[in-house]
């Protein structure tokens, strides 16, 4: 494992912890109901993901790097803090799609460590459910907020995400470039 691998896995670990903290706060503050129920499971999953990355890094004989930022930090800066449940769900949906796309790309890179491949596959199973339940909950929000407003909110966060991701890739190209380069894919 080289320094870039260690950096990327540490970044994943750190971002999963930030996700867990974000959903943990929501799970505490939202009123009882189906959204609170699913969010609690969601928060538990993100915590597990942080553990899976910790374990993978350990299996590779390394320790996680101390990271100073998580993907989510840039997000809230670019898109603004969500102010209601619908906005939280829209932001979450955009974010979950980004994560699963990133992990899916990473899983295609040839010659990755077996611990990394196993962890990516394990986490992607959970992420599929995250996208599904949040998508269903967002659909239900259309009744209260209107389909147009839900769609526009999703679009606003999607644009912010593109901006944040683009900036992140540009800033850390030497670390993540090989994951995004299709030449390095095994299939
Ligand atoms: Fe996760
Ligand atoms: Fe997730």
Give domain limits for the chain.
3-184
How far is the centre of ligand 1, averaged over its atoms, from the C-alpha of 107 (Å)? Answer: 15
Ligand number with the minimum distance to the CA of 127: 2
How far is the centre of ligand 2, averaged over its atoms, from the C-alpha of 34 (Å)? Answer: 17
How far is the centre of ligand 1, averaged over its atoms, from the C-alpha of 39 (Å)? Answer: 13
Helix (H, G, I), strand (E, B) or coil at 112: coil
CA dist 94 and 87 (Å) reads 11
How far is the centre of ligand 1, averaged over its atoms, from the C-alpha of 49 (Å)? Answer: 5
User: Is the overall model pTM greater than 0.75, yes or no?
Assistant: yes
Q: Near ion ligand 1, which residues have CB within 5 Å?
A: 16, 46, 49
The CATH architecture that domain 3-184 belongs to is Up-down Bundle (1.20)
- Collect contacts of 35-42 with beta carbons under 8 A, ≥24 apart: 35/85, 35/89, 35/137, 38/133, 38/137, 42/130, 42/133
How far is the centre of ligand 1, averaged over its atoms, from the C-alpha of 70 (Å)? Answer: 13
Q: What is the chain's pLDDT, residue by residue, as a tens digit (187 residues)?
A: 788 899 999 999 999 999 999 999 999 999 999 999 999 999 999 999 999 999 999 999 999 999 987 777 777 778 888 999 999 999 999 999 999 999 999 999 998 999 999 999 999 999 999 999 999 999 999 999 999 999 999 999 999 999 989 988 888 888 888 888 888 888 8
CA dist 131 and 110 (Å) reads 27
């Amino acid at each position: 494992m080289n320094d870039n691998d260690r950096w990327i896995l540490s970044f994943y670990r750190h971002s999963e912890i930030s996700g867990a903290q974000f959903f943990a706060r929501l799970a505490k503050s939202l009123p009882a109901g189906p959204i609170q129920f699913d969010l609690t499971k969601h928060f538990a999953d993100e915590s597990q993901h942080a553990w899976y990355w910790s374990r993978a890094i350990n299996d590779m004989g390394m320790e996680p790097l101390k990271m100073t930022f998580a993907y989510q930090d840039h997000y809230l800066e670019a898109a603004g803090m969500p102010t209601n449940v619908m906005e939280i769900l829209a932001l979450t949906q955009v974010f979950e799609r980004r994560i699963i796309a990133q992990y899916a790309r990473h899983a295609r890179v040839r010659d990755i460590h077996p611990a990394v491949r196993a962890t990516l596959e394990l986490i992607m199973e959970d992420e599929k459910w995250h996208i599904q339940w949040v998508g269903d909950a967002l659909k239900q929000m259309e009744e209260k907020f209107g389909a147009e407003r839900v769609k526009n909110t999703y679009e606003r966060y999607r644009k912010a995400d593109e901006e944040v991701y683009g900036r992140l890739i540009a800033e850390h190209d030497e670390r993540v470039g090989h994951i995004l380069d299709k030449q390095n894919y095994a299939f």
